[in-house]
Amino acid sequence: MKIVVTVKLVPDPNAEKRIDDGTKRLIRTGVETVLNPYDEYALEAALQLKEKIGGDTTVTVFSMAPEALKETLRKALAMGADDAVLLSDAGLEGSDVWASSYAIAHALKKVGFDLLIVGGLSDDGSTGATPGALAEYLQTPLVTNARKAEVDGGKLKIERETDTGYQDVTAPLPCVMTTALTFGEPRYASLKGIMGAKKKTIAALTLGDLGLTQPVGQGGSKTQLLAFAPPPARGKGRVIEAADGPSGAQAIFDFLKERKLV
């Protein structure tokens, strides 16, 4: 069975996010690029499934990113993925959700998979729409927010989180799955894994390989980022030391009354 995991390369989530006035894009210079933390959960799910299924199951990592970020993928290989594919092309710059999904789906058709696992969110400008769009272009079912998964009799069985509870769902393969963070903490790369990752293959794809019929990149995108502004400032408020329960409660109650909230 071939499992493919898409990973996004994002600016370090712990760094403060700033946007460039001119390009309206996230400033990435001076900020380390890392695997989108949510995608590490997707990779963890893939590695767990590989261990469970065994046999000739492989895990391939896929990413769309500038070629210069190629080495960042070694971390995924060190965690245990078998190989990687990187789609890079200057013509992809400025692609919105639609254009990215359209291009990535066509690249994934080339790569091929039985199960595609996508992180539920990205840390930079998340819409959560990419997995659904990929499933459409790949003409496969979509199951989302999995917190448990197994492959049984050629079918994928998952327990998934919903807005109000959870569901058990069975889907045929090939299929696109997203993971909830409750699937399990991503593993650390072992020293052996890090050494081994250096020898693993990172294959390259460019737009020319995909045979797209619609334009992508900024020009092909169906949305445009027009403007941005910092959110209204929220200054530091009042701090009150409560001597005991009743005085603390009274202080809050008076404050809520003042703001007409009770």
Partner 1 sequence: MTNVLVYVQHKNGVTPKVTFEMATQARKLADTLGGKAYALVVGAGSSKLAETLKTYPLDAVHVNDDADVDKFLLDPVVDYLEAAAKAIGPALLLVANTLTGKDVAGRLVGRLNAGICADATDFKIEGGKVVAVMPKFGGAAITNCELRPGDYGIVTIRPNAFAAQAGGAGASVQAIEKPAGKSYGVVVEKDVEEGTGELALEEAPVVVAGGRGLGGPGPFDTLLKPLASALGGAVGASRAAADAGWVPYSLQIGQTGKTVSPSLYVAVGISGAIQHKVGMRSSGTIVAINKDGQSPIAEFSDLLVVGDAFAIVPELTKLVQAAKS
Identify residues 43-82 at the interface with partner 1 (CB under 8 A).
none
Closest CA to 66 of 43, 93, 46: 93
How many other β-carbons are positioned within 10 Å of the β-carbon of residue 157?
16
Please give the backbone phi and psi of residue 204, each rounded to the nearest 5 degrees, phi first.
-115, 140
Strand order of the sheet with strand 155-161?
Answer: 155-161, 142-152, 175-179, 115-119, 2-6, 58-64, 83-87, 202-205
Identity of the residue, 170 or 190, whose beta carbon is nearer to partner 1 in the bound complex:
170
Burial 248-259 (b: 16+ CB within 10 A, else e): eeeeeeeeeeee
Does 133 participate in binding partner 1 (rule CB under 8 A)? yes
190 binds partner 1 (CB under 8 A): no
- Choosing from 54, 153, 154, 245, the residue that interacts with partner 1 (CB under 8 A) is 245
Minimum separation from the CB atom of position 146 to partner 1 (A) = 12
Give the separation between CA 7 and CA 76, rounded to whole angstroms.
9
By CB under 8 A, tell whether 239 contacts partner 1: yes
Site map (CB under 8 A) of partner 1, residues 199-238, x = contact = ---------------x------xxxxxxxxxxx--x-xxx
Stretches 11-19, 70-78, 87-95, 186-194: which one binds partner 1 (CB under 8 A)? 11-19
- Binding segment for partner 1 (CB under 8 A), chosen from 60-68, 106-114, 192-200, 253-261, is 253-261
User: Can you state the angle between helices 130-138 and 97-111, rounded to 10 degrees?
Assistant: 50
| Binding flag, residue 96, partner 1 (CB under 8 A) | yes
Using CB under 8 A as the binding rule, whether residue 101 contacts partner 1 is answered as yes
